[in-house]
Amino acid sequence: MKNLLIALVLILSNNFVFSQNPNGANELVDIGINYHDKGDYDGAIGKYDEALKLDKDNFRALAEKAYSLVSSEKFQKAVECSQKAIQLYPDGVDLASVYVTLGNAYDGLLKTDKSIEIYDEGIKLFPDYFMLYFNKGVTLSSVKRYKEAINSFEKSVQINSKHASSHNALARILFLNGEKIPSLLAYCRFLALEQQTKRASENLQSVK
């Protein structure tokens, strides 16, 4: 009887091990990213769910699923998915983008204070990740906390001077805050980085 129990345990253990297929899961994640890039967020989420069936705690699948959930405005589900990734991988070196996604999800739920709290948590862990400062600035500007938003955007461009969206946001917020000369300089920096887009045309008119 004892030998039978041992054999049963070994069989179940082996089935569990072989049921996890991280390589297959990552292939599905790659397919899901292609769906997301084409704007098919539901299709992307479906692929990430398939990946999680092959590898139930796959970090890439969780992170990308959360991102697609935000993009499809399924904010509460995005919160849950992001929190799961953070709980499973508290020391993960790739968590910075998950904190951005989680902050975006709370922002989508109109929980501004919670959104800013999440960005700050992420900044403590990843102080050199410019997207945390950029997204924090976006949230702050949405509630007209312009001076704080300016500080966040300035930090973002200090870390990544080639991030056009940070210069764009900084230029517009500086103008709203009545700081016209700094705004002009930020617009010029933006236009040096980006010339052939709709917002570049709009910003050129603002410069003129």
pLDDT digits (tens, 9 = 90+) for 119-130: 999 999 999 999
Interval 32-59 mean pLDDT? 96
Q: How many CA atoms lie within 13 A of 137 on its CB side?
A: 25
For a pLDDT cut of 70, what percent of the chain falls above it? Answer: 91
Q: What percent of the chain has pLDDT over 90?
A: 84
Q: Which of 3-17, 44-58, 64-78, 150-164 has the lowest mean pLDDT?
A: 3-17
Q: What are the structural domain ranges in the chain?
A: 129-208
Q: Which pLDDT value is given to residue 11?
A: 45
Tell me how many helices (H) and strands (E) the chain has. 12, 0
How is domain 129-208 classified at the CATH fold level?
1.25.40
User: Can you say whether the dihedral through the CA atoms of 188, 193, 194, 195 is positive or negative?
Assistant: positive
pLDDT, residue 20, reads 74
What global pTM score does this model have? 0.86
Q: What is the pLDDT of residue 15?
A: 46
Give one DSSP letter per residue of 73-87, joined into a string.
T-HHHHHHHHHHHHH
**Tell me, what's the pLDDT at 1?**
54
